[in-house]
A and B are shown apart, each in its own frame.
Chain A
Amino acid sequence: DGGITQSPKYLFRKEGQNVTLSCEQNLNHDAMYWYRQDPGQGLRLIYYSQIVNDFQKGDIAEGYSVSREKKESFPLTVTSAQKNPTAFYLCASSIVSGQSNYGYTFGSGTRLTVV
């Protein structure tokens, strides 16, 4: 089955720790995205990548880092510089085409909690 897999489902981080969230897709999509979702807020874009070895900052990139070494993988690192990291993190992928009739495919999310 084609899809996008996020792991782990739940993650606990101590103060001052870096943690990495995994995102893997087998849909052969060129573009991948990371969003953050907080209660009562819309999804906010952290980083996105439209091609391997290239990525761009979204609206709230501070305190986060990404890499795109393979088309299938787009891991997100939440660094100690991110002051309020507790949130629901969503990874998505899509075809990069202005003629696409398909939206984004999202993973099931990772819930990160600072302890």
Chain B
Amino acid sequence: SQKIEQNSEALNIQEGKTATLTCNYTNYSPAYLQWYRQDPGRGPVFLLLIRENEKEKRKERLKVTFDTTLKQSLFHITASQPADSATYLCALDDPSNYGGSQGNLIFGKGTKLSVKP
């Protein structure tokens, strides 16, 4: 069966450290993978998109890697701050299921990150 798993339900780290979140998937062949941030009671906010032919992408303190052989994406926040505390969702497209040039997104359950001062 198809699955997308974010390995930790919760991750607690100290301010200033690097947070690393993991997203694994099985039985999908995504063309791209996305990461979102969600605060309590709010809708997710798009952070980064990485394509299958890209190994790494960066945006300010954020870095995403995408390994299609391991079927895994890693999401890093360097020099983490308490304001980074939120739930982070990974999502991938599934063109085989819905067709079209952009398949609909399948979301993981999220990892709740807490950054302690």
B60 to chain A, nearest CB (A): 16
Whether A98 contacts B31 by the Cβ 8 Å rule is yes
**Does any Cβ of B come within 8 Å of A77's Cβ?**
no
Whether A42 contacts B89 by the Cβ 8 Å rule is yes
Determine the interface band of chain A, counting residues with CB < 8 A from chain B: 20 to 34
**Contact A107-B107, Cβ < 8 Å, known A96-B100, A98-B101, A101-B49:** no
- Tell me which residues across on chain B come within 8 A of A94, comparing CB atoms: 102
Tally of B interface residues using CB under 8 Å: 25
Whether A106 contacts B101 by the Cβ 8 Å rule is no
Whether A102 contacts B49 by the Cβ 8 Å rule is yes
- Tell me which residues across on chain B come within 8 A of A108, comparing CB atoms: 42-43
Residues of chain B touching chain A, judged by Cβ–Cβ distance below 8 Å, are: 4, 31, 34, 36, 41-47, 49, 89, 91, 98, 100-102, 104-110
Residues of chain A touching chain B, judged by Cβ–Cβ distance below 8 Å, are: 6, 31, 33, 35, 40-43, 45, 48, 50, 56, 58, 90, 92, 94, 96-98, 100-109, 111
